[in-house]
Amino acid sequence: MTHEKTPFRRSFTPFRGLYDPCPPLLKKTYVVPPNLFIGFQPPDFPQFSAIDALKTGTLWTPFYDYYDNPYKK
Amino acid sequence: MWTYEKKLMYPVKVSTCNPTLAKYLMEQYGGADGELAAALRYLNQRYTIPDKVIGLLTDIGTEEFAHLEMIATMIYKLTKDATPEQLRKAGLAEHYVSHDSALFYNNAAGVPFTAAYIQAKGDPIADLYEDIAAEEKARATYQWIIDQSDDPDLNDGLRFLREREIVHSQRFREAVEIISEDRDQKKVF
Ligand SMILES: [Fe+2]
């Protein structure tokens, strides 16, 4: 429920100049949240159990997006 | 009017003594995209928005105050036992000399809250689009705070709040659809 790979991330490689002072970040990631893709919520949307809904912050599984620091090693 | 329930919307737990995190959390307390700005923005826009979505603004605006209360609890827990020296090390000496460890509506850089952070254009589409943008900015702010924090219990509460911003944005997007549709015509999409 929490840590699986999310479909709601994108990334790009920032331009690397010859004289950039810091080691390159390689990949810059950003979030494309579920609300971008769903439109008006359809009927009979899949739900979490009551307890998981209270934990995650949403009743509806398609809106759930677990977030963690993408740069953490 | 409102009724008040004397409990937090989601339990707030902080497990490490790291007052620096309190400084970061102030961005969501008195910052431009914080919970206070959100609550004031939505509750104020209610009066001039089409009837069909007034209730939505009331619900979300009210919930933002419940979020504000969670952020306040996090900041309080992180600062209540801090000595002046610990606060100084956390970058909060400026806050301390003005407020002791009282909470105040500043952002993470110490800039006080201003009504100029929010808008009420009176144009329903303009206002709802601003609300969608505000939710995405609040979501992003939670991400950046989570990136800076390694307190698992604090992050748990922040993840809950971030998820709420996703749902709020979804509802504002639906509100745009509700007020855009042509009442007189029955359409099937
Ligand atoms: Fe929100």
Task: List CB-based neighbours of ion ligand 1 within 5 Å.
Answer: B 165, 168
Whole-number pLDDT of residue B183: 65
Q: Hey, how many other C-beta atoms are within 10 angstroms of the C-beta on B80?
A: 10
Q: Give the whole-angstrom CA distance, residue A48 versus residue A59.
A: 5
Alpha carbons within 13 angstroms on the beta-carbon side of residue A60 total: 16
Question: Does any domain span residue B2?
Answer: no
Q: What is the CATH number of the domain that holds B98?
A: 1.20.1260.10
pLDDT digits (tens, 9 = 90+) for B90-120: 999 999 999 999 999 999 999 999 999 999 9
Question: Does any domain span residue B12?
Answer: no
> Residue A47's beta-bridge partner residues?
A60
pLDDT digits (tens, 9 = 90+) for B140-162: 999 999 999 999 999 999 999 99
Residues of A in contact with B52 (CB under 8 A): none
Report chain B's mean pLDDT, rounded to a whole number. Answer: 96
Mutate: best of A35, A45, A59, A68, partner B, most B CBs <10 A:
A35
pTM metric for this prediction: 0.94
**Chain B contact residues (CB < 8 Å to A):** 10, 136, 139-140, 142-143, 146-147, 159-164, 166-167, 169-170, 173-174, 177
Check if the beta carbon of residue B140 is closer than 8 Å to that of residue A8.
no
Angstrom CA distances, B141 to A54, B37, B55, B82, stand at 22, 13, 26, 25
Give the pair of three-digit tokens for residue B77. 């827990």
Average pLDDT over residues B75-82: 96
CA distance B99 to chain A (A): 32
Q: How many domains does chain B have?
A: 1
Q: What is the ipTM of this complex?
A: 0.90
pLDDT exceeds 60 at position B18: yes
Question: Does any domain span residue B66?
Answer: yes
Question: Does any domain span residue B112?
Answer: yes
Average pLDDT over residues B168-181: 97
Q: Is A61 on the interface with B (CB under 8 A)?
A: no
What are all long-range contacts of B145-150, with beta carbons under 8 Å and residues at least 24 apart?
Answer: B145/B21, B145/B24, B145/B25, B145/B27, B145/B28, B146/A67, B146/A68, B146/A69, B147/A69, B147/A70, B147/A71, B148/B21, B148/B24, B149/B18, B149/B21, B149/B24, B150/B16
Please give the biggest Cα pair distance in chain A.
55
Residues of B in contact with A6 (CB under 8 A): none
Q: Is A37 on the interface with B (CB under 8 A)?
A: no
Question: Does any domain span residue B164?
Answer: yes
Q: Give the whole-angstrom CA distance, residue A49 versus residue A51.
A: 6
pLDDT digits (tens, 9 = 90+) for A6-47: 899 999 999 999 999 999 888 899 999 999 999 999 999 999
Question: Does any domain span residue B1?
Answer: no
Question: Does any domain span residue B6?
Answer: no
Whole-number pLDDT of residue B153: 97
pLDDT exceeds 70 at position B134: yes
Whole-number pLDDT of residue B47: 97
Spatial neighbors of B40 by CB under 8 A, at least 6 apart, are B61, B115, B118
Q: Give the whole-angstrom CA distance, residue B46 versus residue B48.
A: 6
pLDDT exceeds 60 at position A4: no
Whole-number pLDDT of residue A6: 85
pLDDT digits (tens, 9 = 90+) for B24-74: 999 999 999 999 999 999 999 999 999 999 999 999 999 999 999 999 999
Question: Does any domain span residue B119?
Answer: yes
Q: Is A49 helix (H, G, I), strand (E, B) or coil?
A: coil
Spatial neighbors of A58 by CB under 8 A, at least 6 apart, are A48, A64, B163, B164, B166, B167
Whole-number pLDDT of residue B150: 93
pLDDT exceeds 70 at position A2: no
Whole-number pLDDT of residue A25: 85
Domain boundaries, chain A: 9-63
